[in-house]
Amino acid sequence: MWLRGFSRGTLTELSRAVTNEARHTMQRNRPLARVFVSRRVPQEALSLLRDSGICDIKHWDSDDPVPRTDLLKGVAGVDGLYCLLTEKIDKELLDTAGPNLKVISTMSVGFDHLSLEEIKKRGIRVGYTPDVLTNASAELTVALLLATSRRLMEAVAEAKNGGWGTWKPMWLCGYGLSDSTVGIVGLGRIGFAVAQRLKPFGVKKFLYTDYEPKPEAAAEIQAEYVSLDKLAEQSDFVTIHCTLTPETVGLCNKEFFSKMKRTAVFINVSRGAVVNQDDLYQALSTGQIAAAGLDVTVPEPLPTNHPLFALKNCVILPHIASATLATRTTMAVLAANNLLAGLKDEPMPKELTL
């Protein structure tokens, strides 16, 4: 029998209110979760964690990566870890953290720095930041492709050092996108966004390769699914967007470069280890391919005396694909929200399925 004066809907709302209040009371009475933040991140994310009222934060407040010894000290006994790609989250670290660690939130799309099997064994949840950096990464890919193919870095150097003389018909000539064939290795979110941005340049044909065909995405950009070998052979521009897995380590090697056109331009914005850099150096220095643009290398940072830096036909950037203020802030806030949700045993905005 319903209480006099209350409808079924009203009682349901009252019940929800009581339940929510009880939950909030429990959270207020619960000891603060110990959290380690492994880098200086945008203030919006730190404020979110501090203002949540559920965290006791220990923070490596530096733009430089936390040394391994300090990282191990920082994670000891924590409930949550907010990390970046530069931190290797392996068995040693997880053992050091101990059984209280329940959530890891990485401010990255990639997760090759996480020992997922070890994490899964311990029942730890993982948050990451896909989608939010797609546009910034695609824009940077196009910028790097144009800078490399049109030899912009060489041109800037010549203008600065006095090499700019009389107009010469063939001086600093590069390769244009109009009527070209672009090969995309990995037609995920970023690969697809790159194709969308390149299409207005007059690209004649898109080829792609992936673990399996992606007919819906391919249909939108009129892309053809081909083997990796065929992509290398037919493409004027090759751009890499695959994830780093045991199968893709060293995917772009001597054999791959030998199949490419001598006029082809190679771009990598995925992970440095996808490319055999010694083989790439040989391909560039011998004229086997025309040029390369890299936003990722092995190691990072790449030593300044590395042979690739000596090549005029190789443009190297310091891993800045997602480096817009809006994108980095959004990534940081998403990572913070993932962490808080995990600590409260709630669904994360973006949780990695283990």
Q: In angstroms, rounded to a whole number, what is the distance separating the alpha carbons of residues 213 and 224?
A: 9
Alpha carbons 1 and 146: distance in angstroms, whole number: 74
Structure tokens belonging to residue 241: 């967007």
Determine how many CB atoms are found less than 10 A away from the CB of residue 243: 16
Q: For the chain, what is the largest distance between any 2 Cα atoms, rounded to a whole number of angstroms? A: 96
Q: Is 8 exposed, middle or buried (0-12, 13-18, 19+ CB in 10 A)?
A: exposed
Residue 207, both tokens = 């080829």
**Cβ partners under 8 Å of residue 217, min gap 6:** 187, 192, 223
Residue found by looking up tokens 């190297």 in the block: 316
Please give the Cα distance from 192 to 194 (Å, whole number). Answer: 5
How far apart CA 252 and CA 264 sit, in angstroms, is 14
Any catalytic annotation for residue 319? yes
Q: What is the DSSP letter of 3?
A: P
| Helix axes 325-343 and 43-51, enclosed angle (nearest 10) | 20
How big is the CA angle at 37 (ends 115 and 297), to the nearest 5 degrees?
55
Q: Of the residues 24, 59, 306, 319, which is catalytic?
A: 319
Distances (CA, A) of 57 to 84, 128, 130, 225: 16, 19, 25, 48
- Catalytic residue numbers read 319
